[in-house]
Structure 1
Amino acid sequence: MKLFVCQACQNVLYFENRVCARCGHQLAFMPERQVLSAIEPATDGFGFRTLADSKEGRFFCANAEHDACNWLLEPGEAGGFCRACRHNGTIPNLSDPAQLAGWRELEVAKHRLFYSLIRWKLPLKTRLEDPQHGLIFNFLADGPDSHQRVLTGHDNGLITIALAEADDTERERRRLEMGEPYRTLLGHFRHEVGHYFWDVLVRDAGQLDACRAVFGDDSQDYGAALQRHYDQGPPADWQQNFVSAYATMHPWEDFAETWAHYLHIVDTLEMASEFGMEVNPPADRIGGLTARVTFDPYAIRDFEVIVTAWLPFTFAMNSVARAMGARDLYPFILTPPVIGKLGFVHELVQDAGKGRIEEKLGDRTKEKTKEAVRMG
């Protein structure tokens, strides 16, 4: 994630800022430019002028009405939803203040997710564009009956997020109940969208064999694997080959967990770069804990550069957290097999951003068309 600067007064801004605390300008995110811009009413009174490019006639996403989004629509659009919110399906009951507040928290995490997806230029289709597999989010509240508990999950492009996860106390209760070292709203979004991109970038792009060579055979029965995981738990030596205990359950979950961690790593390193952070402890006599993030982790092709920066950086972050009496900020171990899996995800993302995945998808479409012609 980047830091931003107010075009009116040069104040440093954060992604979620709605108003500049220094000059009072209203702020809006321009997804097509990945810029947070100060805005002013347009001279003709129709929409807003963005100070980032002095263009007029820009409008907010419809969800700005609920203080759930500060993204602008595409240039030339005067109504509807932004690039992130057009993927929404069911939202909570906004007449309920508690559900409205929870939904706003979910939207903060979702917009951070879309910042990354848009930066990489990953293929994103709405349910309107692809009725069978377009990406769509349903934010659902538990029913009044305690047995009507919503479960977060993914099903063929449909991602369900339990509104209860927006409650810090409930999320912590579930984290402890499931023995997890880490559980956040953003982590949920990144994990579940990993399932969606397994479909798009692996299954539909002809990468199944390559993925299975790294993550294992995904054709094994998912239901049986799930039951086995909850009955027996992870293997005793799971940390040697998996980023989390849940990743051991099935290759699909291993991929989704690895995908989520890849997004954690890249976005965190970008923020470290924005702050000019450097890790160079005088006590490190052999150089293994020295790192300086002087590259764009979203664009760099060599994944080894990312890992080389990440490992010392997380050691420093965890040490600072412990000094505050808090849990490790990144309580995970990246072994060589796990790094290899992260590298696989890195290549998928980089290929997709450069259009290579679209080429593969196009070739597969042509093959299916030829096959249909032969069969017809």
Structure 2
Amino acid sequence: MKLFNCTHCAQLVYFENDLCERCSYPLGLDVERLQIVALEKHDEQTYTQYGQADQATYTYCANHAYHACNWLVPTSSNELYCRACILNRTIPQLNEPEHITRWQTLETGKHRLVFSLLQMGLPVVSKTESLETGLAFDFLADAPNPGAPKVMTGHDNGLITINIKEADDVEREMARKNMDEVYRTVLGHFRHEVGHYYWDRLIADSPTLLTECRQLFGDDRADYGEALQKHYAEGPPTDWRQQYISAYATTHPWEDWAETWAHYLHIVDTLQTASAFGLRVRPQASSIADNLTAAITEDPYQTENFDDIMRQWLPLSLALNSLNRSMGLRDVYPFVVTPPVIEKLTFIHRVCHQVGDTKE
């Protein structure tokens, strides 16, 4: 994630801020520029960007009223919702206070996801624009009846369903333990599920990419239902760490792709934050310090060579894990990235850059 400044007073602000704590100017995200901007009142319901009183006017996305969005909508578009919120097909019943809190948490993760996708130049099209190839989200709660089927988080032809209990820290931690996972976050769910969507959009209809993808991830024509049953019955192979980023990635080539895609976004987005802070890693107690030294100065979204990204990721992830352990917390990144996984990540990086370059 980038760093943002209030364009009125230059105070550093968070991606989710809708008010500058220093100068009290309202803030919003200009989606075209992918920047947080300070706002000035134009009339009762519209704003202009600070210093641009004679320029375009904006409203906040309609979900700003629920403290679920700070993105701006040009008034000329006649839209109520921003580029991220227009992707919602179903949101929870908001007459339940607990549902509002969980929905707000989900929106934080979804907005960060969409921002990353827009930075990469990937197609972000809602199902209201294209029913067949668009993207949509259902945020659903389990029915109160104990015997009713549970909402399953997953992807189906561009429709991503998220059970809103994933936005509750206790519920999510219980699920993590039950699934014997080392990592489970709201943003991780979004990144994984959208990986399935982009497999459909970027890989499935490209014979060249599909052939290369099958060489790296395996044959996606294997029966998915049978593969899932086998995984839950037998678990992953004992040597899975040599070839896969996670145990769940061993289930089926589609899951390997989605898991690796999610980790690609973890890596580039975290490195972008580190580069925005100008972080440098120079461990003082290592005889191989050269291999663990990095000056993280490049934006990974603009970096062509994935090897350059990995040369920065190893030192940074080691430093982050060490910092967390000093606070008595679990590792930020409890994974080992082996050469076969790097090869898969490199393929994803190349595919994303090809699509982004084409859009430019």
Same fold judged by TM-score > 0.5? yes
Q: Contact 2:155–2:196 (CA<8 Å) still a contact in 1?
A: yes
Distance 1:130 1:351 in 2: 22
What are the Cα deviations for residues 315-357 of structure 1, in whole angstroms up to 9, with x where unaligned?
A: 111111111111111000000000001001101110110117x
Q: CA deviation at 1:59?
A: 1.1
Distance 1:28 1:323 in 2: 35
Query: Judging changes above 3 Å, is the alpha-carbon distance between structure 1 residues 56 and 132 closer, same or farther for their aligned structure 2 residues?
Result: closer
Q: Contact 1:234–1:245 (CA<8 Å) still a contact in 2?
A: yes
SS in 1 for 2:89: coil
Q: CA deviation at 1:298?
A: 0.5
Instruction: Give 2:354's match in structure 1, choosing from 348, 351, 356.
Output: 351
Which residue does the alignment assign to 1:255?
257
Which residue does the alignment assign to 1:363?
none
Q: How does 1:1-376 map to 2 (within 5 A)?
A: 1-42=1-42, 44-45=43-44, 47-51=46-50, 55-74=55-74, 76-147=76-147, 148-206=149-207, 207-286=209-288, 287-355=290-358
Letter in 1 for 2:106: L
Q: CA deviation at 1:162?
A: 0.5
Structure-2-length-normalised TM-score: 0.96
Q: Contact 1:58–1:78 (CA<8 Å) still a contact in 2?
A: no
* Structure 2 residue runs without a partner (length 5+): none
What are the Cα deviations for residues 282-313 of structure 1, in whole angstroms up to 9, with x where unaligned?
A: 22333111011111100111000000000111
Distance 1:291 1:60 in 2: 40
Letter in 2 for 1:50: Q
Distance 1:136 1:119 in 2: 19
SS in 2 for 1:49: strand
Q: CA deviation at 1:79?
A: 3.5
Q: Contact 2:276–2:297 (CA<8 Å) still a contact in 1?
A: no
Total equivalences in the alignment: 356
Letter in 2 for 1:295: E
Q: CA deviation at 1:212?
A: 0.2
Query: What is the percentage of aligned positions where both structures have the same residue?
Result: 51
* Structure 1 residue runs without a partner (length 5+): 359-376
Q: CA deviation at 1:146?
A: 2.6
Q: CA deviation at 1:260?
A: 0.3
Q: CA deviation at 1:75?
A: 6.1
Q: Contact 2:56–2:74 (CA<8 Å) still a contact in 1?
A: no
Structure-1-length-normalised TM-score: 0.92
Q: Contact 1:59–1:77 (CA<8 Å) still a contact in 2?
A: no
What are the Cα deviations for residues 7-58 of structure 1, in whole angstroms up to 9, with x where unaligned?
A: 121111110112111111111011110100111101x555101127553411
Query: Which region of structure 1 is more displaced relative to structure 2, 63-72 or 111-120?
Result: 63-72
Q: CA deviation at 1:101?
A: 1.1
SS in 2 for 1:137: strand
Q: Contact 2:57–2:74 (CA<8 Å) still a contact in 1?
A: no
SS in 2 for 1:40: strand
Distance 1:254 1:290 in 2: 30
Letter in 1 for 2:59: F
